[in-house]
Structure 1
């Protein structure tokens, strides 16, 4: 057999393998996304239709009553406001993590490495271990059952500081020195030079901060005993307990929790890919 024929057979085998892999990945993707699609579509079905056997994918009678019930009868408007406040303070914490990471990456001071290792050591302690001491401290400060008590413990984190420090340590010192020579102060250098360069890691950390704030459940449940301070996750848990047989209402609540996270990920996935590409180049 000639070399040309062998090359043609190898090319045909590669194409067949790619087709098989493509079909497998497509089928797997459909199986993964199908429950989410069914959940979202079921949120717009009446309760009677969602219990039909065999189940239907598309709503026969489209309705938004489930979402109206969430906000009119289940206080989801209050839960949404509290969750958005936690997300807002999570982004403030993201900015503080970035400043701390920049300080560890570009400033030399006494015992800087030891202090950074102490910050990293806190990552080894499970959050469940520190919950009781933190609760007692906040109780002594009269911050229990307050929004400040909910957002304060999670305002900064060692993981975020570590990621920013590792990324910002690769920024050339010459670029920062040139900015300072032009008369820019340290804070202006951080805002106008460091943060724009750090867009990929900011996007990744932004998504993590949003997901962490949006899904906050255990700490708000512990620190708050007033329903006016509950979050969407706590409200969804209450919904499951009080309306366990109303599946349409539960689907609406779950959809309201999941869809914003999917939208945020779609909007920022380009920057996530850029971050992985930059990490690979390094």
Structure 2
């Protein structure tokens, strides 16, 4: 096949795939600016006849979406920061520190990956109840402090750090904490960004666990609040699309800003260790 023709064919397929992936998001944004009932017409319009911000005003003034977005931001931010601390320390320990039963313990943790998260929800809820964390943000944050996937990702990347570098630091009198903070963490920057994005997205988009542990409506996260709003305004497609936009936009912007570091971390993690 002619190289130019092959290149044009590949580019055409990529453009078509990008259009298919982005069209629902673009239409969601367009519908959010339509007047009530306009999107229910047949065939549904692609663009609003007269753009309006009424849906967003309804969303924030009457539905109180601003509070739910702040709840999601606080929970996702705290979960990301604390989870990074635990996952980085544990992943580095499994990669570079020698202690009894290290490999056996790590294999046991990997075995936990095959257990569905739903199986642990009842005992986890009972544990949060004993800790008096039900209806508190801590009930959402504490179970996410460490993840097997995060520990595994950091371990695989940290194994590529030369042992000679760490031994030289120890000979110079550096303690393990100083080695971790001044030598290891800078080298782990690509995987730190990747893990931070993974954790923030998972926490922001989590629906089931916040729904279970946060019974107080004032403490609900944005996805849970949006689901409740959809039951009250089941026919109001325009308002629901506005809610979807404000729920999706923060994580979409975060991903676009950190996209280069995210892809770099995935590629490096796939070939190292």
TM > 0.5: yes
The aligned residue for residue 146 of structure 1 is: 136
Partner of 2:36: 47
Are 2:60 and 1:96 equivalent residues in the alignment? no
Structure 2 residues not aligned, in runs of 5+: none
Q: Secondary structure at the match of 1:27?
A: helix
The aligned length equals: 271
Alignment partner, residue 178 of structure 1? 168
Q: Assess, with a 3 A threshold, how the Cα gap between structure 1 residues 68 and 182 changes in structure 2: closer, same or farther.
A: farther
Which of 166, 178, 192 is the aligned partner of 2:182? 192
Between 1:48-57 and 1:97-106, the stretch displaced more is 48-57
Q: Which moved more, 1:255-264 or 1:166-175?
A: 255-264
Return the alpha-carbon distance in structure 2 between the equivalents of residues 89 and 279 of structure 1.
25
Is 1:253 aligned to residue 231 of structure 2?
no
Q: Deviations over 1:223-246 (max 9, x none)?
A: 121101111110110111011111
- In structure 1, C-alpha distance between the alignment counterparts of 2:170 and 2:110, rounded to whole Å: 30
Work out which of the residue numbers 67, 75, 90 in structure 1 matches 2:56. Answer: 67
Which of 83, 86, 104 is the matching residue for 2:72?
83
**TM-score, normalization: structure 1?**
0.89
CA RMSD of aligned residues (A): 1.9
Aligned position for 1:7: none
Cα deviation code 1:36-85 (max 9, x no counterpart): 11111221222243334443333332222212221221121221122112
In structure 1, how many angstroms separate the alpha carbons of the residues matched to 2:270 and 2:148? 23
Separation (CA, whole Å) in 2 of partners of 1:252 and 1:143: 32
Gaps of 5+ in 1: 1-9
The 5 A counterparts of 1:210-221 are 210-221=200-211
1:15 corresponds to which residue? 4
Whether the 8 Å contact between 2:135 and 2:215 is mirrored in structure 1 is yes
Shift of 1:33: 0.9
Q: Contact 1:167 / 1:198 at 8 angstroms: preserved in 2?
A: yes
Q: Which one has the largest radius of gyration? A: 1
TM-score (structure 2 length as normaliser):
0.92
